[in-house]
Structure 1
Amino acid sequence: MKRYEPPADWSIQAYKFALDPSDAQVLGLRRNTGAARFAYNHMLRRISAVQAQRAAEASYGVPEADLTPWQGWSLPDLRRTWNEIKQWVAPWWAACSKEAFNTGLANLSAALGNWHAWRTGTRKGRRMGWPRPKRKHARRSARFTTGAIRVDPGYRHVVLPRLGRIRTHESTRKLARRVQAGTAQILSATVSETAGRWCCSFQVAVQRTLGRPTHAPEAGRVVGVDAGVKHLAVLSTGELVPNPKPFNAALQKLGKAQRRAAQRIGPYDPKARRKRTTSNRWQRAQATVTRLHATVATVRADSWHQLTTRLAQQFDTVVAEDLHVAGMLRNRTLARSLTDAAPATLRRHLGCKTRWYSSILHVADRWYPSSKTCSACKTVKLKLSLAERTYHCTTCGLSLDRDVNAARNLADLVRHVDLELPGDATTGRGAYGRPVRPAPAGRAAGRETSRPAHPVNAGRQRTAADRESHFTH
């Protein structure tokens, strides 16, 4: 069957609904998610065994042509092998949807592909190790791409393959009306369990009408956003967005729940070095810990969604920083607070929502000295420690909160640069630009200052074409 390809002008969006399944439907959900885990683990063990067997045969001098046939890890190869062996390794396979097994095989293919890409140097970033087997009590999920996948016209049920009609906790009216109007097409559905709550997430191709909200201010407004820890974000307008700090608020309850779970009989005994049957009291205590973590994640996500939606609707241009959060987490003093604030979420959310509301997102260079630069006279300080929460300029005498000063510098970064965005971006419809780092006034010895020019380019005047080449859209 030919895969559905949405039109080029449609965007991909997710609609997530909490499910209210019956006891029989919960068993069906667990059966299908367990099938995905089983297929993943079995094929991983098979690939590992084949790899070890080939290495042993090669050590004995067996020719390459006589080695055990290699098991490919592309999705078609995994599917072909699974269909050949499933009647022996999983005689119960007919009780589950074929999409459940395909979920595990697709995840395994992606994991092995990432490992191989890192080994060959084609994938950058942190080290990708050999995939590990999925645990039985880990997060359960399964993805459906074919079959009966739809939203019930009554706005209170969803229909999934082999699971049937499942009631939802909330209305599905937003998605159902789009599907009925022909402006949305459901591509897939993913069921998952988090803290005992089952959810269904639809991947939908949406035809979105680009335009500014009716309540949006006048055009041409620019805002700089400085993400932080003390405040969730500081705007160039002077607004300080409070940080709910959900993990810090739940820390006392979380510590008490974890101590209670540690006193129960869990799945692993450190002294016996073996697995054992878990007690019901441990499972209840562990469920409490999971619910607290889920609440923290939900509060954090809600605070970022509210802020980024408001910024994309009320401003024409939003300027954010390219933060190296992984490097910032190496500071053990700020690691917990940074994880609780999740500052990298700002740019990810704005990247989508600025396209939805016809605004423009610009990402400042990672080494642009927004905190060290004076927003009035543009003088750059040599050093500025984290303890200095107020910026004092020795040149013009400006005294301002350092986060507000950084946000104003981010906003000025776009106001003083002549942007020529190609194509549809000239109308401000969701352009994604990365301005070049301007040379600071004064030579500073900090890491956030501009780097010296290359000897080949030394003394050459910058043209409009050079400025345009530094933008990535």
Structure 2
Amino acid sequence: FFGKRAKYPRFKSRKKSRRSAEYTTSGFRFRAGRLTLAKMADPLAIVWSRPLPEGATPSTVTVSQDAAGRWFVSMLCDDTVTLAPPTTSAVGIDAGITSLVTLSTGEKIANPRHERRDRARLAKAQRELSRKARGDGANRARARRKVARVHARIADRRRDFLHKLTTRLVRENQTVVIEDLSVRNMVKNHTLARAVSDAAWSDLRSMLEYKSAWYGRELVVVDRFFPSSKLCGACGTIRAKLPLNVREWTCECGAVHDRDVNAAKNILAAGLAVSVWGAGVRPQRESSRTGQPAVKQKTPRREP
């Protein structure tokens, strides 16, 4: 605002945004798995998502409420993640919309399309909210919470699916190779923006980054200009054009390729070349959770 790059900041209402309170060691008591906050006579009734690490003592407790009206308690404590047993397998991952990810093994994992499945319910809740008069009325507040609950349902299911998928990929493979996608530019395409946002490729990559660091795996990121789909995995010929509606193509050498499987195999081959030989490596953006960068391949552009 003061740099003349934004408008006057808007007031953030505590009723609509996420509310939270943080308690230090003097503000709570945690005994026998029961949490009691300051000025409370009885412990909180909590449904635990998972037990605390054995022997761990929380140092900070944060209580928060989201827009849907749900309450959460998070505890900060010291813990060490156990490294996964080493393995020799590696996998290349090609992200897509019809298939969320296609693996170099030929396996295709379908896109659950969580937003599309609840789109009618969300549209109905938003229509009801639009008919309520603006202000602090109870009717509008109830309609707003209904919309927030639909959004929370979509986000929770998407996050749960991505966590299970990324944990499986990291545990089963020593090296995971992905492509550096420019999601910010992709969502500018109004035809695909909704589907790209629902796929949550950025969340997928973020989870792979910090879980690879946790379990002692290697994550290799191939440059976005690498022609993974147009490159023939058999002879190395690069096809001049390959429209998105072409899902299977035949190379001049006679090899028949599934577009996504071929791309995943090429991504794996390029990633292994980076991992083994170290050619074309440059630092990649650090993960906010681990602070450790993954390896990224820099492929020189072809001269016209």
What amino acid maps onto 2:96 in structure 1? Answer: G
1:382: how far off?
A: 1.8
Q: Tell me: CA distance 1:419–1:198, structure 2 relative to 1, closer, same or farther (3 Å).
A: farther
Structure 1 spans left out of the alignment, 5+ residues:
1-114, 121-126, 213-217, 268-276, 422-429, 440-449, 454-473
1:297: how far off?
A: 0.4
**Residue 360 of structure 1: aligned partner:** 218
**Residue 405 of structure 1: aligned partner:** 262
Say whether the 8 Å CA contact 1:362–1:433 is kept in structure 2.
Answer: yes
Match of 2:56 among 179, 187, 190: 179
User: Aligned ranges for residues 44-443 of structure 1 at < 5 Å?
Assistant: 131-144=9-22, 146-148=24-26, 152-155=30-33, 157-160=34-37, 166-171=43-48, 174-175=51-52, 177-179=54-56, 186=59, 189-212=62-85, 219-267=87-135, 277-278=136-137, 280-393=138-251, 395-417=252-274, 418-419=276-277, 432-437=294-299
Distance (whole Å) between structure 2 residues aligned to residue 160 and residue 419 of structure 1: 55
What amino acid maps onto 1:331 in structure 2? Answer: N
**Secondary structure of the equivalent of 2:31?**
coil
**Secondary structure of the equivalent of 1:350?**
helix
Say whether the 8 Å CA contact 1:225–1:407 is kept in structure 2.
Answer: yes
Say whether the 8 Å CA contact 1:223–1:318 is kept in structure 2.
Answer: yes
Distance (whole Å) between structure 1 residues aligned to residue 29 and residue 232 of structure 2: 54
The range that moved more, 199-208 or 237-246, is 199-208
**Residue 288 of structure 2: aligned partner:** none
**Secondary structure of the equivalent of 2:143?**
helix
- Regions of 4+ moved over 6 Å: none
Question: Once superposed, what is the RMSD of the aligned Cα atoms?
Answer: 2.9
**So what's the TM-score if we normalise by structure 2?**
0.84
Say whether the 8 Å CA contact 2:177–2:219 is kept in structure 1.
Answer: yes
Distance (whole Å) between structure 1 residues aligned to residue 253 and residue 6 of structure 2: 50
Distance (whole Å) between structure 1 residues aligned to residue 45 and residue 253 of structure 2: 60
Distance (whole Å) between structure 2 residues aligned to residue 379 and residue 159 of structure 1: 66
1:348: how far off?
A: 0.4
Say whether the 8 Å CA contact 1:231–1:241 is kept in structure 2.
Answer: yes
Say whether the 8 Å CA contact 2:25–2:60 is kept in structure 1.
Answer: no
Distance (whole Å) between structure 1 residues aligned to residue 27 and residue 248 of structure 2: 55
**Residue 23 of structure 1: aligned partner:** none
**Secondary structure of the equivalent of 1:295?**
helix
Query: If each structure's helix is expressed as a fraction of its own residues, which one has the higher value?
Result: 1
1:339: how far off?
A: 0.8
What amino acid maps onto 2:65 in structure 1? Answer: S
1:309: how far off?
A: 0.3
Structure with greater Cα Rg: 1
- Higher RCO, 1 vs 2 (CA within 8 Å, ≥6 residues apart): 2
Say whether the 8 Å CA contact 1:318–1:362 is kept in structure 2.
Answer: yes
Q: Tell me: CA distance 1:246–1:179, structure 2 relative to 1, closer, same or farther (3 Å).
A: same
What amino acid maps onto 2:206 in structure 1? Answer: R
1:168: how far off?
A: 4.4
Q: Tell me: CA distance 1:192–1:319, structure 2 relative to 1, closer, same or farther (3 Å).
A: same
What amino acid maps onto 2:294 in structure 1? Answer: Y
What amino acid maps onto 1:389 in structure 2? Answer: R
